[in-house]
Structure 1
Amino acid sequence: MRDVAKLAGVSHQTVSRVLNEHPNVRQETRARVLEAMESLDYRRNLAARTLVTRQSHTLGIIGFETTLFGPASMLYGIEDAARTAGYLVSIAMVRNLERRPVLDAVDRLRQHAVDGIIAIAPKPAVTNGLMQAPAGLACVAVGGAGPAEAVPTVRVDNAAGARLATQHLLDLGHRTVHHVAGPADWPEAQERIAGWRDALTAAGAEIPPVLPQSWNAETGYAQGQALAADKAVTAIFCANDRIALGVLRALHEAGRKVPEEVSVVGFDDMPESGYFLPPLTTVRQDFGELGRLSLALLLEHMAGKESPAHVVVAPELAIRASTARPARARVRT
């Protein structure tokens, strides 16, 4: 810093103000300091800064190894929000969502002196692991079940999204809506079942049986084959867009036209969903907003401020060409 100050013709304190983006520096002076830094290839010593301030300005993110669109998008949204706020990010990935691997990830991140941790937490074991983090280390979970968790959370209202999807199909004139569910041990999948069931109950509609399985297209294809064979089925709500892709293929192979004979709705709004055949009506989750809100909540806890324990993001319905009024309703009109 002394070398930069000498080359720019300013004081050591002025260089410090420029580095810390202090507003009381003339633009001409700031430009001269930045030019000197570039000329000398100066980089601040973050390790030394951490020793002095006891803050690394680095946040830890715990993710897990998956190709699922939702968790991967959450990871990107959190990292993008942190980077925009000027924080470095250290990411620790876990291979399975159990308490012990999460505790190990927390320990790895602590070795990097992170100021706080945001964990993608689709299962209770993740938040259980965060609860055992050392006192004074701020932690926030993204996803999960919400209010029952002791760790602050930011999550999408999955039940509300499922109600939106189901009500949309009922409003089109379908007598009931079948559901192809996600895994039984994921709170998000259970909340989507609950929202679907609530909408059918409120409408006085029949509630078909549901069999939770997995998030992949194979599940959608297998269950879609059974549903395609039942001519009484006219509307299907899928727990995610991958499942919907499998359902669409099963319906196509069975000669059931979408949406003329069967309407299909997904959940997530993957970038590819608008290019399915037909383009998929789906529940959209704002992963960028999840990232921003989780970062804001973490920073509030790091600063010791009063903040909500749980933040819920409302989803919205993206209506495309995979849903329509059932044929019997069109005939009556």
Structure 2
Amino acid sequence: MAQGKVSTMPPSSRRSTPVIKDVAQLAGVSVPTVSRYLNGTAKVSAEKREKIAQAIKLLDYKPSFVARALANKEMDSVTLLTSLSNYWATTEVNSGAEHAARDRGFLFGVTSLDGISDDEIESTINRVLSANPAGVIVSESDEIAIQVMRQIPKSVPMVLVGGSRGDAPYQVMPSEREGGRVITEYLLGLGHRNVVHVHRAEGPNNNTRTLGWRDAMKAAGIQAVEAYQIGVDLEESVELGRRLAHEDGVTAVFAGNDETAIALIKGLRDEGARVPDDVSVAGYNDQTFSRMWDPPLTSYSQNFVELGAAAFEMLYAQIEAKRAGEPLPEPECRIIEGRLVVRESTAAPHPRR
């Protein structure tokens, strides 16, 4: 047999559906070598990799997902546990993690924590782990997610998305607090002295947009007024916008997300306030519709897709090390930076008409 080539003759015991033994026989290598090639658990020489790849192609071999799971004692799959599963940011994180998992040949599943009680946490974790996933990603947005994370066995590779720095050994964080600070500093830099902040409920951590707003106001020597917390019903934000239109000294509003910003603009306009002539409004997340709004919305762009992809890659590094019997990677907290996107909804303050 020529070096780097495999025989085109099929194995003598050719089955209608080829199995891993057929691949090994045709490639002239052992079954464990083929298994290592498929699982990526150890290095296989370039020559053997080429032979195995050719044999797989000639036989049209399809690796058995279940068989590999039995060999590894776990499935080539990962599960992401998340609350606020219907939020845009959550779906973007999920999308990034799923695409990264698919690129590595892993199945990806999402388990929603929305609405579960403290009593249901253990049974939820048990259901997830009963499928023998290779690892778990937890997306932190509330206290339930934190409780779930703390109950996952340490033997299971895990990555935390969000939370406070140091909440988990392996962690990927968006630049939430930094983004809140940057966008507030931008508004202050335009000359506004009272940047009002409106936000929804935020996670129990020290990496929130509201804390970034406070950081910027404090650094500027401005006594920050209490932020307005609103719910998911956008009518609340519309009504708040109507009230803010009549408050003295309000020339700039930093909304914690783009939907809230647009609802506030509607409320301001209902009362005759012009945006940005009378009141500047900035949002957060830079969703697609932000650039198409009238006026186009200044916002802070968060790359949530990259956040999800980074979380999976950090998890995959743990999975590979565990399967190869090697030391786990050093603990890491990776920050995914965002950027300020300036559009026409913000401007320097002008006297009210």
Q: Do Structure 1 and Structure 2 share a fold, with TM-score over 0.5? A: yes
RMSD between aligned residues: 3.0
What is the CA-CA distance between 1:99 and the residue it aligns to? Answer: 4.5
Gaps in structure 1 of 5+ consecutive residues: none
Query: How far has the Cα of 1:259 moved from its partner?
Result: 1.2
Determine helix, strand or coil for the equivalent of 1:10. helix
Size of the aligned set, in residue pairs, is: 323
Label 1:298 to 1:47 Cα distance change in 2 as closer, same or farther (>3 A). Answer: same
1:175 paired to 2:198: no
Q: Deviations over 1:1-45 (max 9, x none)?
A: 9544879x93474994885686436879846742541xxxx5322
The 8 Å contact of residues 94 and 101 in structure 1, kept in 2 or not, is answered as no
Letter aligned with residue 252 of structure 1 = R
State whether residues 83 and 145 of structure 2, in contact with CA within 8 Å, keep that contact through their aligned partners in structure 1: no
Identity of aligned residues (%): 27
Matched, 1:44 2:44: no
Change (3 A) 1:319 1:104: farther
Q: Choose 1 or 2 for highest CA Rg.
A: 2
CA contact (8 A) 1:215 1:242 kept: no
Alignment of 1:165-244 (within 5 A): 165-183=183-201, 186-187=203-204, 191-244=208-261
Superposed counterparts of 1:273-292, under 5 Å: 273-292=290-309
Task: Please state if 1:10 is matched with 2:26.
Answer: yes
Structure 2 CA distance for partners of 1:13 and 1:283, relative to 1, 3 Å: same
Assess if the C-alpha contact under 8 Å between 1:157 and 1:313 holds in 2. yes
- 1:227-256 deviations in Å (ceiling 9; x for gaps): 112252110000111111210111221221
What is the alpha-carbon distance in structure 2 between the residues aligned to residue 283 and residue 118 of structure 1?
A: 25
**SS of corresponding position for 1:58:** strand
Structure 1 residues 28 and 306 mapped into 2: Cα distance closer, same or farther (>3 Å)?
Answer: closer
Give me the whole-angstrom Cα distance separating, in 1, the residues matched to 2:261 and 2:233: 9
Contiguous gaps of at least 5 residues in structure 2: 1-10, 322-326
SS at 2:192 equivalent? coil
Change (3 A) 1:92 1:316: same
1:154 to 145, 149, 172: 172
Determine helix, strand or coil for the equivalent of 1:110.
Answer: helix
Q: Does the 8 A contact of 2:140 with 2:203 survive in 1? A: no
- The 2-side partners of 1:229 and 1:43 are apart by 67
- Counterpart amino acid of residue 154 in structure 1: V
Does the 8 A contact of 2:27 with 2:55 survive in 1? no
> Residues 131-151 of structure 1: CA distance to partner in whole angstroms, max 9, x if unpaired?
11223112222122333x246
Give the direction of change, closer, same or farther, for the CA distance of 1:175–1:26 in structure 2 (3 Å limit).
Answer: closer
Structure-2 residue corresponding to 1:325: 348
TM-score for the superposition, normalised by structure 2:
0.80
CA 1:259–1:35 in structure 2 vs 1: closer, same or farther (change >3 Å)? farther
1:91 maps onto 2:110 in alignment: yes
Q: Does structure 2 retain, via aligned residues, the 8 Å contact 1:141–1:152?
A: yes
Residue 126 of structure 1: how far off its partner (Å): 1.1
- State the one-letter code of the partner of 1:181: H
**Candidates 132, 153, 167, aligned match of 1:134:** 153
